[in-house]
Amino acid sequence: MRLLTGRPNVPDEYKLLHHVTKILESRRLTNNGPRVCQLEEIVAAYLGVRHCVAVANATLGLQIAAKALDLTGEVIMPSWTFVATAHAMKWIGLEPIFVDVRGRHLDPALVEDAITEKTGAIVPVHTFGAPCDIDEFRYISEKHGVPVVYDSAHAFGCSYNGNMIGGLGACEVFSFHATKFFNTFEGGAITTNDSDLAERCRRMRNFGFVDYDIVVEVGINAKMSEIHAAMGLSLLDAPLVAVNRDNYHRYRENLGELLMPHDEGSNFWYVVVETDNRDKVAEELAKIGVLARKYFHPGVHRMPPYDQREWDLPNTERLARRTLCLPTGPTVSKDDIDEICEVVLKWS
């Protein structure tokens, strides 16, 4: 395939190699090294949030957030998401409860209906970087005393009304996986304004250690290494939003209403078309060397082990059938976009 959705963004080679040389010289490879600390500081300042806890990936980040909040019972989430949102919780014994979407986001009214005494948390997703119904979830959270943990895996660099996504709910969890807008090969971050929660997350990501030889609780290994942090530091000042925005507008000129809209606060990393003939469009794109991805098909509720019960999610089913995520980023040219759009328009 010549063009792919989610082809990784890479930094200037010499920036990264310089870090690698320094890391090897210092023999400080991991365990909260200087580059991890620096990345955390920069990310926290950029997002306007008090604490950033770097982790090995967002899946572990979600699990640590859940453990640090002492969640039990059920967690309400969309099914129209990447499977990790559900797996992260299921893996640690929490039960995902899938609620339908309104537009592309978890529907707050249906969430409120689904809350019971077993509900441990609400886990909305800022799908494709667009902020979900933040004010409604804040209201529901306060009214029912249920914490909100945002799966912000798509939303690094995105804002709403001029505020960066990152300080919402009890905490937010970002993914820095290679296919995401901003990457550290593998990686992620928990961001929060709650100092006690941040401290607990820091402890838990490092086996529960508070000092040499002193462990105070059960923890896991979710540390980010220095090489991973160096990748992030090297990529931070790349003009990624500008490139993606230009690409998005080119797509938009070609495809108009077929394209899911983004507002100005987006990182423009997800270029998503919605069409009845999604599968045919994907097939025809593959013929010209374009791997477009069917995010999110078939919906997590249709995957084992979640398909054991009947879920009534008509909007999720419809989107899972109709959406296709197209390539963008610095490796995609204007001509590539026009060529892709020709196929999309012909077969939609």
Q: Which of 50, 71, 94, 48 is nearest to 204 (CA)?
A: 71
Q: Which of residues 190-249 bind ligand PLP (CB under 6 A)?
A: none
Asked if 151 interacts with ligand PLP (CB under 6 A), we say yes
Nearest-angstrom CA–CA distance, 115 and 332: 44
Among 52, 58, 140, 273, binds ligand PLP (CB under 6 A): 58
> Looking at beta carbons only, is 60 or 343 nearer to ligand PLP?
60
Closest approach of Cβ 8 to ligand PLP, in Å?
Answer: 13
Among positions 276-315, residues that touch ligand PLP (CB under 6 A) are none
Contacting ligand PLP within 166-185 (CB under 6 A)? 175, 177
Q: What tokens appear for 18 in the block?
A: 């310089």
Please, are residues 274 and 297 in contact by the beta-carbon 8 Å criterion? no
- The span of 147-155, 207-215, 244-252, 323-331 binding ligand PLP (CB under 6 A) equals 147-155
Query: CA separation (Å) from 32 to 196, 245, 288, 347?
Result: 18, 34, 45, 51
Q: Are 329 and 250 in contact (CB under 8 A)?
A: no
Count of chain residues binding ligand PLP (CB under 6 A) = 14
Local structure of 312: helix, strand or coil: coil
Task: Quote the CA–CA distance of 21 and 100 in Å, as a whole number.
Answer: 49
Cα–Cα distance between 309 and 98 in angstroms, integer? 11
C-beta of 85 vs 191, nearer to ligand PLP: 85
Q: Find the helix or strand (DSSP H, E) in which 141 lies.
A: helix 134-144
Task: Map residues 77-116 to x or -, x wherever contact with ligand PLP holds by CB under 6 A.
Answer: ----xx-xx-------------------------------
Instruction: Assess 337 for contact with ligand PLP (CB under 6 A).
Output: no
Residue 59 interacts with ligand PLP (CB under 6 A): yes or no? yes
Window 109-138: contact mask with ligand PLP (x via CB under 6 A): ----------------x-------------
CA angle 164/190/30 to nearest 5° reads 125
Residues that bind ligand PLP (CB under 6 A): 57-59, 81-82, 84-85, 125, 151, 153-154, 175, 177, 188
